[in-house]
Structure 1
Amino acid sequence: MNQPVVRLRNLRRSFEQGGVRIDVLRGVNLDIRPGEIVALLGPSGSGKSTMLQAVGLLEGGFEGMIEIAGTDAAKLNGDARTVLRRDHLGFVYQFHHLLPDFNATENVILPQLVSGKAEREARERATELLTALGLGHRLDHRPSQLSGGEQQRVAVARALANRPALVLADEPTGNLDEATADRVLDEFLKLVRGEGSAALVATHNERLAVRMDRVMRLNEGVLV
C-alpha cells in the first residue's frame, strides 16, 4: 500500500470570539493516498477553509498531527515548512488570484522559477498544461482578457505546474455559473488524475462532490 500523501491525526483548531471559545475543528483524522481525489463537503462556515489552511501549512494555531509526504510539519521551522509547501502542495482558490500584469503562460511559469526550474523548461511545462486545459490559443492573454472559466483554468495549471503530490482546492468552481463550473471541474479532475496527483477539494455542492473518488463531510468540526 502506498504511503499517504497527507495524514491528519486529531487535528484541532479553536478561536476566541467575544470571550467565547469556538471549536472549528474537533479532532479531524484523514488519510489521502497518491492519486486519490477527495471531496470535503460542508455548508459555508463549517470549517472547510480552516481545514485546507491547516493541510496547506498556511496558518498556525492548530493542534494535532499534519504529515505531508511523510514529514511531520509540527517538527519543522518556518523556512522548512515553506519548502515542504512549495515542493509538495498546489493550491486552487475560489478566486483565481492571477497576477494581472502577466499573461497566462507567465502566471504558470513563475511558481516554477521560484522552485528553481530553468525558464525554458518552465515555459514548456506551462504551455503543456494550458494546452491540455483548452487554452492553447490564449497563452499570451492577460487575466483581464480571459473569461472567468479561462482564468480558473490558468489557476489550475499554476497549481499543477510543480507536479505537487497534493492539490488543495477551496471551492474552485464556486465563482462560476453551473455550466462553466461543470466544464472546469471536468478538466480539473482529468488533469489531476493524468498527473498522478492527489487532491482535497472543498465544496458545498453535492452534485460536484459525488464525481470525486471519495466524499468526506465536515460536521460540527469532525469528518464523517
Structure 2
Amino acid sequence: MNSSIPSSSPGSPTAAAPVVKLEKLTRSFEQGGVRIDVLRGVDLDIAPGEIVALLGPSGSGKSTMLQAVGLLEGGFGGRISIAGTDATDLSSDARTELRRDALGFVYQFHHLLPDFNAEENVVIAQMVAGKSRADAEPRAEELLTALGLGHRLEHRPSQLSGGEQQRVAVARALANRPMLVLADEPTGNLDEATADKVFDEFVGLVRGEGSAALVATHNERLAARMDRVVRLHDGVLG
C-alpha cells in the first residue's frame, strides 16, 4: 500500500473495502448532432489485490471506462471512489494527487521517454511522486530485474524489443506501489508468443506487489487467467 495513504486515516480502504467503486457511471458524446451514450450506468467494485478483466469489442467503451477510473477526463455522471476517496467532485489538483498516489497505468503502446534508458524511465516516475533519485534507483532495478531486464537497465527504448519496452512500462506503472493498476490492451501491440510471456510477467508482478488491476482486453484467452471477467455491452457491465 502506498505510504501516502495510511490505512488508519478516515476514508481510507480497510481490508474489505473496494479499491474502486463505480456507481451508475455514465458518459455521453455529441457527434454530428447525435447523442451517443457510451456508458449507461456502470456499477463495479474491485477488491484489494483482485485482477479483473474488462472484456468488450472495439468501440464498446472500455478505454472510456478506464479513463474514468483513472481520473483522466471529466464529463462523467455517477460516482467514482478510488482508495476510499470519493473522487467525483474533487478539484483538479486533488484528482492529480490521488491519481499519482493510488494508480498506475499501462497502455497498448509503452509511451517511454526516448532519451532516457530503461532504469531512468522507472526512476523518473518515482521522482515525480517525490522520491529522490538515490531512493528511486534500487526500486527501478528491483522491478526491471524481476521482469528479466536486469541486463538492459542502461538501454534506451530504441535499443529494446517491443516486449522489453512493454516490460519497462509495466515496471514504471508499479514503481510507486499503486493500489490499482489500469491496463488498456497492455499486450495488444505484441505478437502472440511475446504477448503471452509479457502478460504472465505482468500478472505475476502485480500479484507479487499486492496491487489490484483492471485490464481492458478483447482477448478471451488472456482474460481467463485473471480472477474475474466483466463484460461491457451496450454501455453496461454484464
Aligned-pair CA distance for 1:163: 0.2
**Is the aligned partner of 1:149 residue 2:156?**
no
Which residue of 53, 68, 71 corresponds with 1:54? Answer: 68
After TM superposition, list the pairs within 5 Å mapping 1:28-107 onto structure 2.
28-107=42-121
Which residue of 23, 26, 38 corresponds with 1:9? Answer: 23
> Following superposition, which runs of at least 4 residues in structure 1 exceed 6 angstroms of deviation?
none
Partner Cα separation in structure 1 for residue 57 and residue 169 of structure 2: 24
TM-score (norm 2): 0.93
Aligned-pair CA distance for 1:51: 0.2
Gaps of 5+ in 2: 1-14
Partner Cα separation in structure 2 for residue 76 and residue 216 of structure 1: 27
**The residue matched to 1:75 in structure 2 has which SS?**
coil
Aligned-pair CA distance for 1:75: 2.6
Partner Cα separation in structure 2 for residue 190 and residue 41 of structure 1: 20
Please provide the CA RMSD for this pair: 0.6
Q: 1:27: which partner in 2?
A: 41
Partner Cα separation in structure 1 for residue 52 and residue 106 of structure 2: 14
Q: 1:123: which partner in 2?
A: 137
Q: 1:207: which partner in 2?
A: 221
Partner Cα separation in structure 2 for residue 22 and residue 116 of structure 1: 40
Partner Cα separation in structure 2 for residue 111 and residue 135 of structure 1: 18
Aligned-pair CA distance for 1:53: 0.2
Gaps of 5+ in 1: none
Q: Deviation string for 1:6-52 (max 9, x for gaps)?
A: 00000000000001000000000000011000000011100000000
Larger mean Cα displacement after TM superposition, 94-103 or 111-120:
111-120
Partner Cα separation in structure 2 for residue 25 and residue 40 of structure 1: 14
TM-score (norm 1): 0.99
**The residue matched to 1:58 in structure 2 has which SS?**
coil
Q: Deviation string for 1:152-199 (max 9, x for gaps)?
A: 000000000000000000000000000000000000000000000000
Q: 1:217: which partner in 2?
A: 231
**The residue matched to 1:109 in structure 2 has which SS?**
helix
Aligned-pair CA distance for 1:204: 0.4
Q: Deviation string for 1:72-102 (max 9, x for gaps)?
A: 1123100000000000000000000000000
Partner Cα separation in structure 2 for residue 151 and residue 84 of structure 1: 27
Q: 1:197: which partner in 2?
A: 211
Q: 2:186: which partner in 1?
A: 172
